Amino acid sequence: MARLAQELDEVIQQVEERQTELIQLVERLVRFETPSPPARNTAEAQRFIAEFLQEKGFQIDQWEVYPGDPNVVGVLKGQAPEMYKSLIINGHIDVAEVCADESWETGPFTPVVRDGVIIGRGVADMKGGLAGALFAIQLLDEAGIRLPGDLIFQSVIGEEVGEAGTLECCKRGYRADFAVVVDTSDLHLQGQGGVITGWITVKSQQTWHDATRRSMIHAGGKLFGASAIEKMMKILQGLQDLERHWAVMKSYPGCAPGANTINPAVIEGGRHAAFIADECRLWITVHFYPNETYEEVTKEIEEHIGRVAQSDPWLRDHPPLFKWGGSSMIEDRGEIFPSLEVDPEHPGVKALQASHELVLRRTAVTDVSATVTDGGWFGDAGIPAVIYGPGRLEHAHAVNEQISIGQLVDFTKVMLKFIYEWCRTER
């Protein structure tokens, strides 16, 4: 054991000595143009990762989630998997979209290294995390270190537009004793709240000429009709009332007060200026806390808006319709990101904290991400998980997106230690 520990220390030291190779790996990943939207552009990058893992002894499973967007899962079978813990390392290969008028130093997919940072689209979110984890695997392989437990590496598609490549991995049956999502977390161990989008529709069964409006709204008109746009205003007010109620009555440690929001993002309604609006659709985005599920919060919203509708004579007869979530912001204008609650007492969390503190000699921070990742799909599938990756949230999606080389090196060292220790932990 002492010899193995010394061997691991020597491998960890190599991260510093060979950081040029690590930087080059990040640059290689950035040069693959994988913005989403438009998406359907990750095949070449995923082929690179599949070949990288295959060279290290991984068995490769690659399948198209959407045309041109395949998932890649590599499985490195442990020497005694029935006796030792298994680990999933997960990250997404797609990056945030790039607009034509953005002022990049060179180009978003032409990486720049200077002043201790790497600049390029996706370096923080999250090709830096992917590269660090891959480099850790490379160093373990080169050192001839064999793991007793299974190591599963998932490079997934679609996270930026809610296409949930990670969900597809779960559906395909990939499970482990613990999962680390190497997304942007500034080297904090994080859980997250959740997000779900929804459409609320108010619809009349009849369409009226705009000249009939007087009969709908003035005394004695006796036409039981209404503008769906105006009735949606009552729904909007009801959503605001519920949002304020949540802000007062709900909280979660580590989350900013009022982080559970209901955002009226897009409204669509009416057909022509000569008609009374017979339909109005509201697209909302709902943020909820780590200890809540999307099923619970959508039920609360439907019940509350149902009571609002009951208080209005027209809405009582034309109750609002709800459609929640979706599989893609591109394909069906909807998404779900389940919440992820981190158990601080879970052995995987404690082992990652210990690796962080032993390698970096500073206290590990465990908190809650201000955004969402694919990590929630592991929680939804009953797989204990945590978000832990390099990069700061304020750099993600930004023009001239950047990542600290020092933090990238630190992350790679910690992942080396953690992979080694966790996959040697007896069941």
pLDDT in tens, 94-118: 999 999 999 999 999 999 999 999 9
Looking only at the bridges linking them, the beta strands covering 178-181 and 385-387 are: parallel
Q: What is the pLDDT of residue 140?
A: 97
Q: What is the pLDDT of residue 179?
A: 98
Task: Tell me which residue of 163, 206, 207, 155 sits closest to 337, measured CA to CA.
Answer: 163
Buried/exposed code over 251-271 (b: 16+ C-beta within 10 A; e: otherwise): ebebbeeebbebebeeeebee
User: What residues contact residue 135 under an 8 Å CB cut-off, 6+ apart?
Assistant: 15, 21, 22, 25, 412
- State which H helix or E strand residue 388 sits in: none
Q: What is the pLDDT of residue 275?
A: 95
- Residue 135 predicted with pLDDT over 60: yes
CA distances from 92 to 19, 21, 161 (A): 22, 21, 11
Q: Which segments of 42-126 does DSSP mark as H helices, in order?
A: 43-55
User: What residues contact residue 71 under an 8 Å CB cut-off, 6+ apart?
Assistant: 46, 62, 63, 65, 154, 155, 156, 157, 165, 168, 169
Share of residues in the chain with pLDDT > 70 (%) = 99
Torsion, CA 367, CA 369, CA 374, CA 376, rounded to 10 = 60
**């691991």: which residue's tokens?**
8
Share of residues in the chain with pLDDT > 90 (%) = 98
pLDDT band at 225 (very low <50, low <70, confident <90, very high): very high
Which residues is 198 bridged to in the sheet? 284, 324
Q: What is the pLDDT of residue 6?
A: 80
Do the Cβ atoms of 216 and 223 come closer than 8 Å? yes
Residues 213-222: tens digit of each pLDDT: 999 999 999 9
Residues 231-260, mean pLDDT to the nearest whole number: 97
Q: Which segments of 266-370 does DSSP mark as H helices, in order?
A: 294-310, 313-317, 347-360
CA distances from 354 to 296, 350, 408 (A): 35, 6, 18
CA distances from 350 to 105, 178, 346, 354 (A): 41, 11, 6, 6
Residues 346-377: tens digit of each pLDDT: 999 999 999 999 999 999 999 999 999 999 99
Catalytic residues: 94, 159
CA distances from 336 to 169, 179, 199, 260, 378 (A): 16, 20, 13, 15, 13
Do the Cβ atoms of 387 and 369 come closer than 8 Å? yes
- Residue 33 predicted with pLDDT over 70: yes
Question: Which phi and psi (to 5°) does residue 269 adopt?
Answer: -170, 160
Q: What is the pLDDT of residue 1?
A: 53
The number of beta carbons lying within 10 Å of the beta carbon of residue 173 is 6
**């004793």: which residue's tokens?**
177
- Residue 2 predicted with pLDDT over 60: no
pLDDT band at 385 (very low <50, low <70, confident <90, very high): very high
Instruction: Report d(CA 305, CA 294) in Å as an integer.
Output: 16
Q: Which segments of 219-293 does DSSP mark as H helices, in order?
A: 228-249
Q: What is the pLDDT of residue 118?
A: 98
Q: Please tell me the CATH superfamily of domain 2-191+340-422, with its number.
A: Zn peptidases (3.40.630.10)
Q: What is the pLDDT of residue 175?
A: 98
Q: Give the side-chain half-sphere CA count within 13 A for 353.
A: 16
What's 194-324's CATH class? alpha beta
- Residue 420 predicted with pLDDT over 60: yes
Question: Which phi and psi (to 5°) does residue 140 adopt?
Answer: -60, -40
- Residue 5 predicted with pLDDT over 80: no
pLDDT band at 4 (very low <50, low <70, confident <90, very high): low
Retrieve residue 190's tokens: 């994080």
Where does CATH 3.40.630.10 sit in the chain?
A: 2-191+340-422
User: What burial class does residue 145 get, using C-beta atoms within 10 Å of its C-beta: 0-12 exposed, 13-18 middle, 19+ buried?
Assistant: middle
Residues 6-29: tens digit of each pLDDT: 889 999 999 999 999 999 999 999
Whole-number average pLDDT of the chain = 97
- Residue 37 predicted with pLDDT over 80: yes
Task: Tell me which residue of 9, 27, 29 sits closest to 19, measured CA to CA.
Answer: 27
Where does CATH 3.30.70.360 sit in the chain?
A: 194-324
